[in-house]
C-alpha cells in the first residue's frame, strides 16, 4: 500500500520540522518527505490547508480488558485511539484480573497485535492494587510492562511507596502515581469549594491531591529516582512539581484535557458525566494547570480515557462511577482551550501529544523522517465541529462535553502504513 499525503503542513517535534511537505508512505514506513512528490500511489490524501503530525501518544488510558469488556475492550479502545489520532497508548492495570502478572501483560500484548495502534501495558505496583505486596517488577518489565501504577487508587502507605520506588529504581522502571489521600478525600464526589457547598455535594479538597504529590516528590528525592505524577488537577500540585523541578528532582507530570477545558461549574446540573477523579477544579486551578503546561512544570497531556457503561453514569452524582471517555476528544479539547485561545502555538501542543509523553515513558523511534514507521495523523485545525458522544468509536459514551463546539478534527490516522481511521 502506497499512500501519498499531499500539500499539508508537517509539524514534527522529534526533528523540529514545521513546513509544507508531501509525505509518501510505502510498505509501512515513511519513504519520502519532500516539498513536492509526484508519484503514483494507491491513495492520495489531499492535506491542503491541513496539518500532518506524528501520531499522538497517550500515556494514560483505561482499555478495561481483561474483565470489563462491557465498558471497553482492547479492540474498541484502540479503534477509539486511532479515531483520536493516537498511534501509541499506555493502558492502566486496573483491569479484572489486575495487570499484576506476566499472564495478564502477555494477554494484553497478544490481543493488541491486531490493534490499529501500539499498546504498552502499565503493570500494577502492588498485587491486586491492594497496596500490601509489591508485584514482580523485573519479570513484568521483561514481559513488556512499560511502567508501574496502581492508578484508580493511591498507594496509601508511604512505606510501601518508598519500597516500590526503591524496587523500581533497581529495574530502571517508572512509577506513575495516582495522588489521592483517601482519608482527606473522604468519599467526596466533586471539588471542595463554594460550588460544592452551594449545590450540596460532598467535596474533595485540593490537599487530598497535593499532599500526595509532595510525598511522591520527597520519596523520589530521598531515593534519587524518577516518579511520574498522573492527572494533575490543582494549582498546589503544579506548584509542588514546579519547585521540585527547580531543585532537580526527577519528577514528571501529566494533566488531562478536562482539567484544561473545564472547571467545576459544569457540575451544577448534577449530571454525573462530569464526575471524574480527581474532580474538575476551580477556574483558578484550571488556569494554574495551563500555566504549568506553559512553563514546563507539567510535561505532557494524557486523556485518562475512562470508559464506563451508560448505566454506571445515568445515576445520582453520589453513586455514579468516576471517569470520562476522553481519547477521541482529547486533542480537540486541548487545541480549543490552548491554541485557539492563543495561549500556545500549535507546534507546542503537538509536542505535548508526541515527543513529550514519549520521553516520559521512554518510547523511541517515532517522527516524520524517511525510514521511520509510518505513524501519522492528519488534522484539520480550522474545522469547527460539535462533539457527539453517540458517535464515539469507544464503547464508553460518557463525556460531559457532548454538544460542545471544538476545533481541530482528526482527518485520518495512519498506523504502520495503513489508514486505520478516516473521518
Ligand atoms: O475518574 C477516574 N476514573 N479516575 C481514575 O483514577 C480511574 C478511572 C477509572 O478507572 O475509571
How do residues 291-316 score in pLDDT, each as one tens digit?
999 999 999 999 999 999 999 999 99
Give ligand 1 pocket residues (Cβ under 6 A). 62, 94, 151-152, 178, 276-277, 306, 322-323
Give the residue whose CA is nearest to atom 5 of ligand 1.
Answer: 152
Atom of ligand 1 nearest to the CA of 322: 1
Confidence of residue 16 (pLDDT cuts 50, 70, 90): very high
Cα-only R_g, the chain: 20
Quote the pLDDT of residue 97. 98
Single out the residue of 397, 271, 260 nearest to residue 326, CA to CA: 397
Is residue 118 flagged as an active site residue? no
Atom of ligand 1 nearest to the CA of 321: 11
93 vs 118: CA distance, rounded Å: 16
329 vs 41: CA distance, rounded Å: 31
Describe the strand order of the beta sheet including 118-123 as a list of residue ranges.
56-61, 86-91, 118-123, 147-149, 175-177, 227-229, 251-255, 300-301
**Cα–chain center distance at 318:** 26
Q: What are the tens digits of pLDDT across the range 170-217?
A: 999 999 999 999 999 999 999 999 999 999 999 999 999 999 999 999
Cα–ligand 1 centroid distance for 418 (angstroms): 32
Q: What are the tens digits of pLDDT across the range 118-127?
A: 999 999 999 9
- From 94, 254, 327, give the residue whose CB has the most ligand 1 atoms within 8 Å, as the site to mutate: 94
- From 59, 154, 258, 306, give the residue whose CB has the most ligand 1 atoms within 8 Å, as the site to mutate: 306
Quote the pLDDT of residue 133. 98
Give the residue whose CA is nearest to atom 4 of ligand 1.
Answer: 277
Confidence of residue 144 (pLDDT cuts 50, 70, 90): very high
Quote the pLDDT of residue 112. 98
Confidence of residue 252 (pLDDT cuts 50, 70, 90): very high
Q: Which residue has the cell 471544538?
A: 406
Quick check: helix, strand or coil at residue 167? helix
Atom of ligand 1 nearest to the CA of 178: 6
Contact criterion met (CB below 8 Å) for 51 and 346 = yes
Contact criterion met (CB below 8 Å) for 399 and 329 = yes
The mean per-residue pLDDT over the stretch 135-159 comes to: 98
Quick check: helix, strand or coil at residue 379? strand
Cα–ligand 1 centroid distance for 95 (angstroms): 11
Residues 93, 88, 300, 243: is their CA dihedral positive or negative? Answer: positive
Bridge partners, 405 (sequence order): 386
Average pLDDT over the chain, rounded to an integer: 98
Confidence of residue 281 (pLDDT cuts 50, 70, 90): very high
Atom of ligand 1 nearest to the CA of 324: 1
C-alpha cell at 422: 478516516
Single out the residue of 55, 121, 135 nearest to residue 93, CA to CA: 121
Single out the residue of 417, 416, 414, 418 nearest to residue 85, CA to CA: 414
Quote the pLDDT of residue 213. 98
Single out the residue of 395, 376, 385, 391 nearest to residue 333, CA to CA: 385
Confidence of residue 49 (pLDDT cuts 50, 70, 90): very high
Quote the pLDDT of residue 278. 98
The pTM is what?
0.98
- From 77, 98, 322, give the residue whose CB has the most ligand 1 atoms within 8 Å, as the site to mutate: 322
Confidence of residue 65 (pLDDT cuts 50, 70, 90): very high
Atom of ligand 1 nearest to the CA of 323: 1
Task: Please pick, among 304, 358, 380, 402, the residue that the annotation labels catalytic.
Answer: 304
E-assigned strand segments in 178-323: 190-191, 203-204, 227-229, 251-255, 300-301
Cα–ligand 1 centroid distance for 94 (angstroms): 9
Cα–ligand 1 centroid distance for 277 (angstroms): 6
Distances 358 to 44, 151, 153 between C-alpha atoms, Å: 29, 19, 24
Quote the pLDDT of residue 52. 98
Residues contacting 114, CB < 8 A, separation 6+:
75
Quote the pLDDT of residue 342. 98
Q: What are the tens digits of pLDDT across the range 371-411?
A: 999 999 999 999 999 999 999 999 999 999 999 999 999 99
94 vs 232: CA distance, rounded Å: 19
25 vs 373: CA distance, rounded Å: 9
Amino acid at each position: 500500500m502506497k499512500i501519498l499525503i499531499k500539500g499539508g503542513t508537517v509539524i514534527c517535534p522529534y526533528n523540529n520540522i514545521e513546513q509544507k511537505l508531501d509525505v509518501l508512505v510505502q510498505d509501512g514506513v515513511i519513504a519520502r518527505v519532500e516539498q513536492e512528490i509526484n508519484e503514483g500511489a494507491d491513495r492520495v490524501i489531499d492535506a491542503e490547508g491541513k496539518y500532518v503530525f506524528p501520531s499522538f501518544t497517550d500515556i494514560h488510558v483505561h482499555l478495561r480488558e481483561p474483565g470489563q469488556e462491557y465498558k471497553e475492550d482492547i479492540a474498541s479502545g484502540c479503534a477509539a485511539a486511532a479515531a483520536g489520532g493516537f498511534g501509541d497508548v499506555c493502558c492502566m492495570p486496573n483491569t479484572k484480573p489486575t495487570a499484576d502478572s506476566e499472564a495478564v501483560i502477555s494477554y494484553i500484548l497478544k490481543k493488541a497485535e491486531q490493534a490499529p495502534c501500539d499498546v504498552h501495558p502499565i503493570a500494577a505496583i502492588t498485587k491486586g492494587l491492594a497496596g500490601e505486596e509489591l508485584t514482580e517488577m523485573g519479570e513484568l518489565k521483561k514481559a513488556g510492562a512499560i511502567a508501574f501504577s496502581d492508578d484508580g487508587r493511591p498507594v496509601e502507605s508511604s512505606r510501601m511507596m518508598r519500597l516500590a520506588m526503591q524496587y523500581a529504581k533497581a529495574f530502571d522502571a517508572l512509577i506513575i502515581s495516582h495522588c489521592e489521600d483517601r482519608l482527606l478525600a473522604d468519599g467526596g464526589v466533586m471539588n471542595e469549594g463554594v460550588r460544592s457547598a452551594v449545590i450540596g455535594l460532598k467535596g474533595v479538597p485540593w490537599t487530598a491531591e497535593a499532599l500526595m504529590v509532595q510525598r511522591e516528590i520527597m520519596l523520589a528525592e530521598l531515593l534519587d529516582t524518577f516518579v511520574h505524577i498522573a492527572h494533575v488537577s490543582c494549582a498546589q500540585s503544579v506548584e509542588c512539581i514546579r519547585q521540585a523541578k527547580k531543585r532537580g528532582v526527577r519528577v514528571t507530570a501529566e494533566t488531562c484535557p478536562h482539567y484544561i477545558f473545564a472547571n467545576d461549574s459544569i457540575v451544577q446540573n448534577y449530571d454525573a458525566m462530569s464526575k471524574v477523579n480527581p474532580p474538575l477544579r476551580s477556574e483558578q486551578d484550571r488556569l494554574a494547570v495551563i500555566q504549568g503546561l506553559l512553563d514546563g512544570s507539567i510535561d505532557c497531556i494524557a486523556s485518562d480515557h475512562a470508559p464506563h457503561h451508560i448505566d454506571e453514569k445515568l445515576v445520582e452524582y453520589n453513586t455514579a462511577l468516576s471517569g470520562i471517555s476522553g481519547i477521541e476528544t482529547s486533542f480537540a479539547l486541548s487545541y480549543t482551550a490552548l491554541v485557539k485561545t492563543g495561549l500556545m502555538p500549535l507546534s507546542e501542543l503537538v509536542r505535548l501529544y508526541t515527543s513529550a509523553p514519549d520521553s516520559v515513558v521512554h518510547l523511541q523511534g517515532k517522527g516524520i523522517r524517511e525510514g521511520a514507521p509510518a505513524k501519522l495523523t492528519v488534522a484539520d485545525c480550522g474545522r469547527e465541529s460539535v462533539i457527539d458522544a453517540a458517535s464515539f468509536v469507544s464503547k464508553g459514551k460518557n463525556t460531559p462535553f457532548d454538544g460542545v463546539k471544538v476545533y481541530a478534527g482528526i482527518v485520518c490516522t495512519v498506523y504502520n502504513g495503513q489508514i486505520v481511521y478516516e473521518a
